[in-house]
Amino acid sequence: MSEERFDVIVVGAGPAGLAAAYTMAQAGLEVIVIERGDYPGAKNVMGGVVYRRPTEDVFPDFWQGKSSPVERNIVKQSLWLMNKDAAFSIGYGSAQFKAEEGYNAFTVLRAKFDQWMAAQVEEAGAIIINETTVTDLIMEHGKVVGVRTSRDDGDLYADLVIVAQGVNNLLVQQVGLGVDLKASQAAVAVKEIIALPTGVIEDRFNLEKGEGATIELVGESTMGLTGTAFIYTNKDSLSIGAGALVSQVQQKGVNPNDILENLKEHPMVKPLIAGGETKEYMAHLIPEGGYHAMPKVYADGVMVVGDAAQMVNGMHREGSNLAITSGKLAGLTAIEAKERGDYSSKTLSRYQQRLEESFVLKDLKKYRNLSHFIDDNTHLFTEYPEMVLAASHELMTVDGTPKGDKFKAMFDMVKSKRSLWQITTDLYKGWRAVK
Amino acid sequence: MHVVVCIKQVPDTTEVRIDPKTNTLVRAGVPSIMNPYDIHAVEEAVRIKEQVGGKVTVITMGPPAAVQVLKEAVSLGADETVLVTDRVFAASDTFATSYVLASTIQKIAGSEPVDLIFAGKQAIDGDTAQTGPGIAQRMNLPLLTYVEKVRSIDVENKKIVVERRLEGSKQIVESTLPALLTVEKEINDVRYATLPNLIKAATHNPKAWDHTVIEADRTKVGLKGSPTRVGRSFVQQLTNEPGEIIEGTPQEAVVSLVDKLFAEGHLVADR
Ligand SMILES: Cc1cc2nc3c(=O)[nH]c(=O)nc-3n(C[C@H](O)[C@H](O)[C@H](O)COP(=O)(O)OP(=O)(O)OC[C@H]3O[C@@H](n4cnc5c(N)ncnc54)[C@H](O)[C@@H]3O)c2cc1C
């Protein structure tokens, strides 16, 4: 056991844990972060788009200056609906995103981004211990009082423990705050980083120097499984990945690697990555259960932040922002607890309140039924992309057929796949799910 | 028992490439690590401290970034560390480096007598194995190189018995203390750092000494104090050309091999 005593132990140096640690260290709390990786970000996986405002809210100016960990400022985003050989694309780009005050989101690589945040946290006075796994939360009289680690002499005590261990939240389950995720509540995602020269990336994605683009791909991109794929531009590499619900991957017996390989071979994708060299390959889970899958986020002596609390908005590929914001709100609550000298669940319930007042729980609640809706309606990922693509093909093909006949053919095709009643029901249910 | 360990921060040579044009090491972007032999030296010093009591002081000469390896030494159980750092030390060879380190140890011994000094058998970036012996020579201490086991230490009578690795055999030697030992990796298994030591390392600030603190003569350090000159460096090209198989009876083959060696100038007739 260490003789050192800390106000707070943070488990996990991802965005959630580091945001919490930074907030607390700046207020003068004695904080220690315990991370199992060789260094923060060593094995962490994200697409990765980070959002300016919520990130800036904790780490001001993170996107500025020479040591900034961001790759590219995103000026346009698009969505591709795909079948085997075609893609229907819609996108949004704006000059507003190009001007500094309009910067909205950036691509990052986690190894760099997490290390950058960790450096800020250390500068603020917190200690980060790497290569050390927290194996248990130590409980006394029903209260969390410390952590047990994989190291010799590895018990460490503190007034408060913040669990920021990401999606595999064994510690949260251990103290009875939540249960293990169901296979339908998590997506398995695989991702590669493919190196390409800066200029080539800018040419292929039609970008000006330093600007970035994102593409989300739906349909054949996940071989029809419920999920999405993505292609993001970094400085001199592309991040390409795909994720699908674990339950479906299991049910259909698909290997997640094959989903990515299939995507890379798609005729619309292949030219984007041609000539690139795969630098890294990684796999990770994404919590997709949303609000209904969330554990209780506080108890005596403990708070849960980020993915460990299943705070991901899958529909909008948002996770890092919920992680960072929840980390900050837990940090603010810890500062209050320290002032009061009371770390009981009564004081810590302020964390829940803060979450409710912020976009974190507002959004998660709004989308709470969406994952069920999507889960129950897997045809959304197969039939609709097919319909749109078939219709587009019909419309784009100039073959002497009068336009009126074309529209009729399109309409018949759509009806043959799904009745108008079914389509109306889908739309209604979809609307209900996010109402 | 006060043990001093000399360590070095080196580029991780498993990740170093050689620039084909200049024939020098490309160090950019290569991570720095504690010289692998030195880790075992620190571990052995800590084990001795645990066994007979005392203190472990770890020193390194290097740039400010070398604090990293000193912190690592603390995580392994070292008590105190000193970074000897000064621009005038830049470009020191093993001759000058051993002077700097010997001066540092003398300075330390001035306030707290030193009983035993450890160094790694060699550093993986230069592989000279000269610095440890150089320190012993300068301090006029018994030198025990290639130690693969410390058999016993007699604190009272100031004696140590070690096993030295020789080619194909080992040598058991007794020496008086203080002495300087350079160690092989086989001397111990390095244990994982404990959590309290990791926490200590994270907050540890090594002392930083320049040439004035160790009272070093400026003319004996840096390029001026370094007699070593690199004449030429070249990369040994390993070719993949297929070998030739000489057929025939052993006698015939030998004759034809010797003929070939003469013909290609590898053998020269002695007239
Ligand atoms: C393929 C993929 C793409 C994504 N794309 C995006 C995107 O574009 N934008 C976005 O906003 N979000 C995205 N997300 C989601 C986002 O990555 C997460 O929501 C976010 O990383 C959550 O942060 P966190 O700090 O809670 O958890 P993590 O980032 O998972 O960090 C947890 C940390 O805890 C450590 N840890 C775990 N267990 C222990 C233990 N027992 N002891 C010590 N340390 C431990 C881990 O090593 C890790 O460093 C994506 C996720 C994936 C998998």
Is position A343 within any domain?
Answer: yes
Residues of A in contact with B191 (CB under 8 A): 152
For residue A334, how many other CB atoms are within 10 A of its CB? 29
Element (H, E) at B55: strand B55-61
Are A21 and A164 in a shared domain? Answer: yes
> Using the beta-carbon criterion (under 8 Å), do A152 and B192 form an inter-chain contact?
yes
In the prediction, which pLDDT does A372 show?
A: 72
Residues A344, A401 share a domain: no
Parent domain of A334: 4-63+107-179+290-367
Minimum CA distance residue for ligand 1 atom 17: A46
Answer whether the bond into residue A48 is a cis peptide, omega within 30°.
Answer: yes
- Segment A285-298, tens digit of pLDDT: 999 989 999 999 99
Mapping DSSP onto H, E and C, the string for chain A reads: CCCCCEEEEEECCCHHHHHHHHHHHHCCCCEEEECCCCCCCCCCCCCCEEEHHHHHCCCCCCCCCCCCCEEEEEEEEEEEEECCCCEEEEEEECHHHHCHHHCCEEEECHHHHHHHHHHHHHHCCCEEECCCCEEEEEEECCEEEEEEECCCCCEEEEEEEEECCCCCCHHHHHCCCCCCCCHHHEEEEEEEEEECCHHHHHHHCCCCCCEEEEEEEEEHHHCCCCEEEEEEECCCEEEEEEEEEHHHHHHHCCCHHHHHHHHHHCCCCHHHHCCCEEEEEEEEEEECCHHHHCCCCEECCEEECHHHHCCCEHHHCECHHHHHHHHHHHHHHHHHHHHHCCCCHHHHHHHHHHHHHCHHHHHHHHCCCHHHHHHHCHHHHCHHHHHHHHHHHHHHCCCCCCHHHHHHHHHHHHHHHCCHHHHHHHHHHHHHHHC
Q: What pLDDT was estimated at residue A424?
A: 79
Q: Do B194 and A127 touch (CB under 8 A)?
A: no
Quote the DSSP letter at residue B88. G
Do A195 and A254 share a domain, yes or no?
yes
pLDDT for A1: 56
Q: Using pLDDT thresholds of 50, 70 and 90, give the confidence band for residue B113.
A: very high
> Rounded distance, CA A164 to CA A181, Å?
16
Residue A88 placed within a domain = no
Residue B205 touches chain A, beta carbons under 8 Å: no
Boundary residue ending a domain (A264, A287, A310): A287
Q: What is the mean pLDDT of residues A414-420?
A: 80
Determine, yes or no, domain membership for A173: yes
Residue A74 lies in a domain: no
**pLDDT tens, position by position, B197-225:** 999 999 999 999 999 999 999 999 999 99
- State which amino acid sits at residue B122: Q
Amino acid at B134: G
Nearest protein Cα to ligand 1, atom 46: A12
**Cβ-nearest to A153 among B196, B202, B203:** B196
Domain end, chosen from A271, A287, A303, is at: A287
In a domain, residue B243? The reply is no
Question: Considering CB atoms only, which of A2, A127, A128 is closest to B196?
Answer: A2
- B239 domain residue, yes or no: no
Q: Do A11 and A118 have their domain in common? A: yes
pLDDT class for A5, splitting at 50, 70, 90?
Answer: confident
Instruction: Read off the pLDDT band of A2 (50, 70, 90).
Output: low
CATH number, position A170: 3.50.50.60
Residues A207 and A247 in one domain: yes
Does A205 share its domain with A354?
no
Best to test chain B binding among A152, A156, A157, A279 (most B CBs inside 10 Å): A152
CB atoms inside a 10 Å sphere around CB B105: 24
Worst-scoring range by mean pLDDT, A252-256, B12-16, B145-149, B182-186?
B12-16
Integer CA distances (angstroms), A271 to A196, A200, A234, A361, in order: 12, 11, 17, 40
Domain assignment present for residue B247? The answer is: no
Give the burial class of B206: count Cβ atoms within 10 A of its Cβ; 0-12 exposed, 13-18 middle, 19 or more buried. Answer: buried
Last residue of a domain, one of A367, A390, A412: A367
A207 and A219 inside one domain: yes
A283 shares its domain with A209 = yes
For residue A32, which residues of chain B lie inside 8 Å, CB to CB?
A: 199
A162 and A262 in a single domain? The answer is no
B31 confidence band (pLDDT: 50, 70, 90)? confident
Q: Does the residue A372 lie in any domain?
A: no
Domain match, A312 and A335 both = yes
Asked if the structure places residue A342 within a domain, the reply is yes
- pLDDT on residue A3: 66
Whether B78 and B54 have beta carbons less than 8 Å apart is answered as no
Nearest CA to CA, how far is B230 from chain A (Å)? 37
Best CA proximity match to A298, nearest among A266, A253, A261, A336: A336
Asked whether residue A19 falls in the same domain as residue A133, the answer is: yes
Give domain status of residue B29, yes or no: yes
CATH of the domain at B80: 3.40.50.620
Q: Is B203 on the interface with A (CB under 8 A)?
A: yes
B79 assigned to some structural domain: yes
Percent of chain A scored above 90 by pLDDT? 73
User: In which domain, by residue range, is B173 found?
Assistant: 2-220
Instruction: Specify the pLDDT at position A168.
Output: 92
Q: Which atom of ligand 1 is nearest to the CA of A305?
A: 26
- pLDDT per residue as tens digits for the range A104-147: 999 999 999 999 999 999 999 999 999 999 999 999 999 999 99
Q: What's the structural domain count of chain A?
A: 3
Ligand 1 center to residue A403 CA distance, Å?
Answer: 50
User: What is this structure's pTM?
Assistant: 0.88
Q: How confident is the model at residue A258 (pLDDT cuts 50, 70, 90)?
A: very high
Peptide bond into B178 cis (omega under 30): yes
Mean of per-residue pLDDT scores for chain A:
92
| Residue B271 reports pLDDT greater than 80 | no
Question: For all residues of chain B together, what is the average pLDDT?
Answer: 93
User: A338: pLDDT confidence band, cut at 50, 70 and 90?
Assistant: very high
Compute the C-alpha angle A59/A65/A66, nearest 5°.
120
Residue B110 lies in a domain: yes
* Cα-based distances in Å from B255 to A339, B258, B264: 94, 5, 14
Domain assignment of residue A376, yes or no: no
ipTM: 0.84
The answer to whether residues A16 and A129 belong to one domain is: yes
CB contact under 8 A, B195 and A132: yes
- Within a domain: B67: yes
Please state the domain count of chain B. 1
**B219 vs B13: which has the higher pLDDT:** B219
Average pLDDT over residues A189-218: 96
Q: Residues near ligand 1 with C-beta < 6 Å?
A: A 11-17, 34-37, 44-49, 133-134, 164-166, 189, 191, 241, 243, 284, 286, 306-308, 312, 317-321, 323
Give chain B positions within 8 Å (CB) of A125: none
The answer to the question of residue A298 being in a domain is yes
Question: What residue's CA is closest to ligand 1, atom 39?
Answer: A165
Contact yes or no for B199 and A129 at CB 8 A? yes
Give residue A392's pLDDT band: very low, low, confident or very high (50, 70, 90). Answer: confident
> Ligand 1 centre and the CA of A44: distance in Å?
6
Q: Chain A interface residues facing chain B, Cβ-Cβ under 8 Å?
A: 1-4, 32, 127-129, 132, 149, 151-156
